[in-house]
Amino acid sequence: MKLFNREKHWEHIYNTRKAEETSWYQPTPSTSLEFISKFRLTPEAKIIDVGGGDSLLIDNLIDLGFKDLTVLDISISAINRARARLGKRGDFVKWVNSDITKYFPESPFDLWHDRATFHFLTDEKDINSYIQVAKRGIKSAGIMLIATFSKTAPDNCSGLPVKKYSRASLSAVMSAHFKKLKCVSVNHITPFNTVQNFTFCSFKKTG
């Protein structure tokens, strides 16, 4: 049986679809920004957008004055698109081309943001690897903001199965190292006018 190659899959997605042709596209990442506004982060806070691809969150964080930003994505094409869009505005952003389960942060972050990356990890080994990377990659008392498909969302996204989480199950899977702060359910309207319900949760690292 041929092994699935995550990198090749996402390279194909980003090489064949424009940003507004992807189901996760948001002109404004409102829910993420609402959460972030409550965290009282300083402009010097270290922030990573995990699986950020060419999403517009990084543009908004630059506009808000944050100065220490990292975007990680498994697809170099996604990163190149974001860099081209931002131009000189993004010169100070650190761009990391990596599978999140194999990422070794140089130093820990104050805020770890992940909208719709974690839920693509359906194998328990990958899920545990992600959590260990997050444990290493987030400062003591740092914040994780993570969004996954909810239990009522579709079973697949971008041609791949996803692991869906309720507020309770997402909190439970993170509970060994992260304490839940707040969870909400949010409907995302895709560019195709379909609805995807997300579970958004913020956590504080406990160790």
CATH code, 36: 3.40.50.150
- Given a contact cutoff of 8 angstroms between Cβ atoms, the answer to whether 75 and 11 are in contact is yes
Residue given tokens 């943001």 in the structure block? 113
What domain count does the chain have?
1
Q: Which domain holds residue 184?
A: 6-16+29-205
Residue 22 lies in a domain: no
Residue 128 lies in a domain: yes
Residue 46 lies in a domain: yes
Indicate whether 190 pLDDT > 60. yes
User: What is the reported pLDDT for 1?
Assistant: 42
Lowest-confidence range among 80-84, 96-100, 192-196? 192-196
Residue 70 lies in a domain: yes
Residue 24 lies in a domain: no
Cα separation, 129 vs 206, in Å, equals: 18
- Given a contact cutoff of 8 angstroms between Cβ atoms, the answer to whether 117 and 88 are in contact is no
pLDDT tens sequence across 92-150 = 999 999 999 999 999 999 999 999 999 999 999 999 999 999 999 999 999 999 999 99
Residue 136 lies in a domain: yes
Residue 1 lies in a domain: no
Cα separation, 135 vs 74, in Å, equals: 20
Mean pLDDT (whole number) for 168-182? 98
Residue 21 lies in a domain: no
Helices (H), 17-159: 30-37, 57-63, 76-86, 124-137
Indicate whether 2 pLDDT > 90. no
DSSP codes joined into one string, 39-74: S---TT-EEEEET-TT-SHHHHHHHTT--EEEEEES
pLDDT tens sequence across 46-78 = 999 999 988 999 999 999 999 999 999 999 999
Mean pLDDT (whole number) for 160-187? 97
